[in-house]
Amino acid sequence: MADHHIGLIVPSSNLTMETELPRMLNARESIASDDRFVFHTSRMRMKHVTPDELRTMNAQTERAALELADARPDVVATACLVAIMAQGPGHHCVAEADITSALRAEGSQAPVVSSAGALLSGVEALGARRVAIITPYMKELTAKVVDYVEDAGIEVVDALSLEVPDNLAVARLDPADLREHWRRLNLGRADALVLSACVQMPSLASIQPVEDEAGLPVLSAATSTAFRILTELGLPPVVPGAGSLLGGQVPRPAGSDAGTTAGRSSSGTGPSHLGTGR
């Protein structure tokens, strides 16, 4: 039996990443009992999802990475999608490189995953070129997410903003509501549906039911992060009941290694469409 140590960098007000990710990987243990997962978290202060607070939080990334380096995790995931995407297209590459540099300076060889980069690679792994997305963000930030995704070559055919600026309020949203929210999107040209483009907005309980009803692959920032974590650990990215991305039928991301890790020491104003005209 192998213990896999996962380091998480999360906003201080995040309640969901440390809930949904362990639930997924614990569910995986039911079909692959030889692998167990242990979580270690470092937090960065942030209470409201605004551009200013996101920038302030990002400035704490090196400190959080250094704290995790001391635990010698097998993989590190930084989990605030919008904090990275709000900085402009391609910023996940910069963020991942900065965290990697901090880890290496302390002797940690852990690979680094960001929820922003993971979402893009999750869509790619599904072979999707056009997606619809739901976010909890205000329209301004949703627009930045749309621009970011489209800069990566993925067309966003429709987007729905739930407009909840308080991060704790986002965590308290009922994931069951997503089983109705998705119906407000125009999915006629979509290859996949991003049910939650935010690791704070709970969605895991609705991923499989919405996929079954919508008839197209459904993923989230959290399921995409789990997919990347498992592939970086050299494990099959399979989690029961978590949608097609984790169903064991999609290829691993380009550049992922199938080896082992041995030696790697609210209140909003109500939902509204972004108004992109798509």
Neighbours of 265 (CB within 10 A): 12
CB 159 within 8 A of CB 274: yes
Cβ partners under 8 Å of residue 206, min gap 6: 175, 176, 178, 179, 195
CA dihedral 71, 230, 161, 60 (to 10 degrees): 20
198 is catalytic: yes
C-alpha 2/C-alpha 256 separation (Å) is: 20
Question: Residue 266, class by beta-carbon neighbours within 10 Å (0-12 exposed, 13-18 middle, 19+ buried)?
Answer: middle
93 is known as an active-site residue: no
Rounded Cα distance between 108 and 23, Å, is 26
Q: Could you tell me the CA-to-CA distances from 222 to 3, 20, 42, 61, 70 in Å, in that order? A: 21, 7, 17, 19, 25
Q: Which amino acid is at 242?
A: A
Give the integer Cα–Cα distance in Å for 124 and 209.
22
Q: Is 109 exposed, middle or buried (0-12, 13-18, 19+ CB in 10 A)?
A: middle
| Residue of 8, 95, 198, 210 marked catalytic | 198
Among the listed residues 21, 54, 80, 112, the single catalytic one is: 80
What residues act catalytically?
A: 80, 198
